Structure 1
Amino acid sequence: MRPRRPAADLPSVRLRRDVVRAVRAGHPWVYAEALAAPRGLAAGAVVDLLDPAGRFLARGVWDPDSPIAFRVLTLDPAEPVAAGLVAERIAAAAARRAELLAAGDTDCCRLVHGEADRLPGVVCDRYGDTAVLRFDGAGPAALRSWVVEAVRGLPGIGRILERPFGRTARRRGRPASLTGTPAERPAVALWGALPERSGVVRERGLRFEVDLLHGHKTGLYLDQRENRALVRERAAGRRVLNLFAYTGGFAVAAAAGGARSSVSVELSRPAADAARRNLALHGADPAAHTVEPGDAFAWLERAAAARRTFDLLVCDPPSFAPSRAALPRARTAYRRLNAAVLQLTAPGALVLTCSCSSHLDPRSFLELLRAAARDAGRRAAVREVRGAGEDHPVVPWFPEGRYLKAVLLEVSSS
């Protein structure tokens, strides 16, 4: 049996309370309140995690400015945290996505999904020949040079950008990648030149304009790819409502699937303009497929007053619960929103409704939807409970990674 001793040349932090079982089972986070650390330990330092008895437990990176103060990179005391470890894990992650990209109809996906790909806090999204990185805090960011070196070696990569998060995003209770928090600052080039602000990518044969410099997340909500495909499959002949439309991904999918019409509601005028351009890329009739800038809640009130109804409704709001403390208000908002959506359903309508907050678990979300259906006077049968696509994997030892819930409802009058 390998001795469980810390490295003599690395600083160490010690658990104050016993979360040994969770770490040994693979959970990659240790919160600050569970740790005792020496004063002055630098953010981004590679440190050994010791159990309460002083025995080696894990090796990872330190981030004193984050509630998640330690992120696990290895449980092996003989494995150094170095360029080779990062390169091996990025190569393995890219290989797992190779089949998705090999079909030729898709050139954008998540290449590295943080904790699930054994690089906690590190995200790499691919858009054509451009890789866009995000690091959730100073700990993961300490790996930046090794990540860039590894991504440069992947086939077809011509430039590497980073979308930094602002300090407010990094200080939330969970990484911004699991709370729906958009990147707050424009992209910077880490390797190669900055691209034009907007480019066009392919997803299952559809084309989308993406803003790699200023767009939400890294440019496109890649985690909704399979749910856009579902909407395309179910859209034929239907009148579609697309709320919180961003750049119109669900409306484009609906139009490609033969929807009779669609209305996309988006608060941001630049995003609404991009949605119109995305619909135009596919030759959608602008009279049938419209984009309306505005607040979704106010729009729903007006639509209910006008007795408008739809056959397929998509509701994909931003996170209402960026922290656990925000959950009570978020529950109220999700219930109110979904009740308003359900009031606009025609008989036999389908509703695809989503939550991107990891703080709201799937069971609680379903309970909120049941309550919303009662409020709206509708019967709603759950047809599917979905999540993100295969490039956003979820591992059993890290349930927090199941942040995206997408529930397909079939609705009838009560």
Structure 2
Amino acid sequence: MNIKIKNNFINKLVKGYPLIEKDAVINSQDLKEEGKIIRVTDEKGKFLGKGYYGIQNKGIGWILTNSESEEVNQSFFDKKLQKAIALRKSFFEDPDTTAFRVFNGEGDGIGGIIIDYYDGHFVLNWYSAGIYAFKEFVLKALINSVVVKSVYQKKRFDTKGQYMDEDDFVMGEPPEFPLIVKENGVNFAVYLNDGAMVGVFLDQREVRKTIRDTYSKGKTVLNMFSYTGAFSVFAALGGAIKTTSVDLANRSLPKTSEQFSINGIDPKEQNIVVMDVFHYFKYAIKKKLMFDLVILDPPSFAKSKKFTFSAAKDYKNLLKDTIAITEDDGIIVASTNSSSFDMKKFKGYIDAAFKESGSTYKIEEQFSLPDDFKTIKEFKEGNYLKVVFIRKLK
């Protein structure tokens, strides 16, 4: 199957941009079946790359190779997986960290799929029906490359881009749940069979370690959008006086309690609040609550009964609310996984929030994705994570 690219998109692809954007394709009406290999050319038929057809966000597929003679077969997938696993050799050898990313989509050469490792058990995330068509190649490549205890999968595609609920187990010997994995010596309870999110976001590993090792001792800590309380656990282990974890989801209470308990921390000595985060800011101001360390890690998009949050639109105001309940000389850990803006723009939101609050600040350090989340410079939106440690001066 040949697809032709409009002239104004060609330079981008030639420079290594791997996503085939829908607007770039002249004859998209010819594309019928996801998972088909497509030959990508310019308007005159000159070869640009070979990839697959698969609908994902703004794309209709990914370039897999710039070599016309390279076949997309079992050997192709074997080589990609083996290279990715070799790059993570130090992770596989680290007994203190037994959960990490093994394959990061286009960063490792195949857009549309990510593979995470949980102490010998693997989770495959498929982001289009197109890449899912190569499931048998990927499974065989994984088994050919590394010792596999079991495999679970998450199909992250349907007409609305939501998680497709189905049996997640694929093969192998299922572990007992919760499966206890380690990150820098800290325990996490994960459930590989429990929907799209298994219980921890692996991309924040270095941020959690920094919170524990540098910023928590003797501090009162507020963790907003806390999910299963991972930041709170690291803060408590770092010597925080007390942690407060706030999340709207009812499950956050038992899940966060579990994470504390498996690390030898009594959850009753911590504060776990099931509440809309936006209401909690008002509650904190009303009760005159102030914190030494506030962790702010909202989803890119969130919806509660009365409010819709978009990181690109609303992060500045969220920061202003945070500044109001942060002690002078306190730390705000501002984090976003939105790929719709870069670090420069994010720092612009931070600057505007402090100016409008009449406060001053100093940036202590910043983080993007850790090494196992491999990215390529040609696809900047793949390096989505932006975390800034901000000291509120006054």
Band of TM-score, shorter chain: over 0.9
1:404 aligned to which of 382, 385, 388: 385
In structure 2, how many angstroms separate the alpha carbons of the residues matched to 1:187 and 1:116?
A: 28
* Greater mean deviation of Cα atoms: 283-292 or 403-412: 283-292
Q: Is the CA contact (8 Å cut-off) linking 2:300 and 2:310 kept in structure 1?
A: no
Structure 1 residues 13-49: Cα deviation after superposition (integer angstroms, max 9, x where no partner):
1113332221122111121121124635311101100
Return the alpha-carbon distance in structure 2 between the equivalents of residues 276 and 90 of structure 1.
37
Over 3 Å counting, the alpha-carbon distance change for 1:207 and 1:18 in structure 2 is same
**1:5 aligned partner:** none
Query: Tell me, what secondary structure is at the counterpart of 2:393?
Result: strand
Residues 1:55 and 2:35 are matched in the alignment:
no
Listed as ranges, the matches of 1:370-385 within 5 Å are 370-385=351-366
Q: Quick one: which amino acid aligns to residue 369 of structure 1?
A: I
TM-score (norm 1): 0.88
Supply the distance in 2 between the matched residues of 1:314 and 1:216 (Cα, whole angstroms): 23
Match of 1:294 in 2: 275
What is the deviation of 1:258? 1.1
8 A contact 1:188–1:194 mirrored in 2:
no
Query: What one-letter code is carried by the residue in structure 2 that aligns with 1:304?
Result: I
2:355 counterpart SS class: helix
Gaps of 5+ in 2: none
State percent identity of aligned pairs: 27
User: Aligned residue for 2:320?
Assistant: 339
Q: Alignment partner of 2:235: what SS?
A: helix
What displacement does 1:376 show? 2.9
User: What SS does the aligned partner of 2:203 have?
Assistant: helix
Residue 247 of structure 1 aligns to a residue whose secondary structure is coil
Deviation track 1:358-383 (CA, whole Å, cap 9, x = no partner) reads 01221111111112222333212112
Q: Partner residue of 2:228?
A: 247
Query: Deviation at 1:121?
Result: 0.9
Counterpart in the other structure of 2:100:
109
What's 1:163 paired with? 154
CA contact (8 A) 1:236 1:258 kept: yes
What is the TM-score normalised by the length of structure 2?
A: 0.93
- Quick one: structure 1 residues 168 and 249, their matched pair in 2 at CA, closer, same or farther if it must change by over 3 Å? farther
Is the alpha carbon distance of 1:23 and 1:146 closer, same or farther for their aligned partners in structure 2, counting shifts above 3 Å? same
Distance 1:350 1:184, change over 3 A: farther
Specify the SS of the correspondent of 2:360.
strand
Q: Indicate which of 14, 25, 37 corresponds to 1:24.
A: 14
Task: Give the counterpart of 2:136 among 137, 141, 145.
Answer: 145
Q: Is the 8 A contact 1:49 1:58 kept in 2?
A: yes
The code of the aligned residue for 2:165 comes to R
1:136 corresponds to which of 127, 136, 142: 127
Q: 1:30 to 1:367 in 2, by over 3 A?
A: same
Q: Retained in 2: the 8 A contact 1:166–1:185?
A: no
Match of 1:230 in 2: 210
Residue aligning to 2:193: 213
Match of 2:73 among 46, 67, 82: 82
Question: Aligned Cα RMSD in Å?
Answer: 2.1
Distance 1:61 1:321 in 2: 32
Letter in 1 for 2:178: S
TM-superposed CA distance for 1:208, in Å, is 0.6
| 2:262 alignment counterpart | 281
Match of 2:335 in 1: 354
1:141-187 deviations in Å (ceiling 9; x for gaps): 222111111112343321111111242553xxxxxxxxxx8x45355
C-alpha deviations, 1:117-147, integer Å up to 9, x for none?
A: 0011110001112100011112222221111
Separation in structure 2 between the aligned mates of residue 218 and residue 162 of structure 1, nearest angstrom: 11
- Hey, which bits of structure 1, 4+ residues long, moved more than 3 A? 64-67, 193-197, 215-219, 285-288, 327-332
In 2, the alpha carbon distance for the partners of 1:102 and 1:374 equals 46
Alpha-carbon separation, structure 2, partners of 1:211 and 1:186: 15
1:196 CA displacement:
4.1
Match of 1:198 in 2: 178
Deviations 1:270-305 (A, max 9, x none): 132111111111222434422111111101110012
What is the distance in 2 between the residues matched to 1:186 and 1:130?
19
CA distance in 2, matches of 1:287, 1:38: 59
CA contact (8 A) 1:164 1:187 kept: no
> Which is worse superposed, 349-358 or 365-374?
365-374
* CA–CA separation in structure 1 for the residues paired with 2:229 and 2:340: 26
Structure-2 change in CA distance of 1:407 and 1:251 (3 Å): same
- 1:72-93 CA distance string (max 9 Å, x none): 0000011001111111111111
2:49–2:66 Cα contact (<8 Å) kept: yes
Please identify, of 106-115 and 268-277, the stretch whose mean Cα deviation from structure 2 is larger. Answer: 268-277
Residue 15 (structure 1) aligns with:
5
Looking at structure 2, the residues matched to 328 and 317 of structure 1 have their Cα atoms a distance apart, in angstroms, of: 9
> What is the number of residues matched between the two proteins?
388
How many angstroms does 1:62 deviate by? 0.7
Confirm or deny: 8 A CA contact 1:13 1:49 kept in the other structure: yes
Query: What are the ranges of 5 or more consecutive residues in structure 1 without an aligned counterpart?
Result: 1-10, 171-180
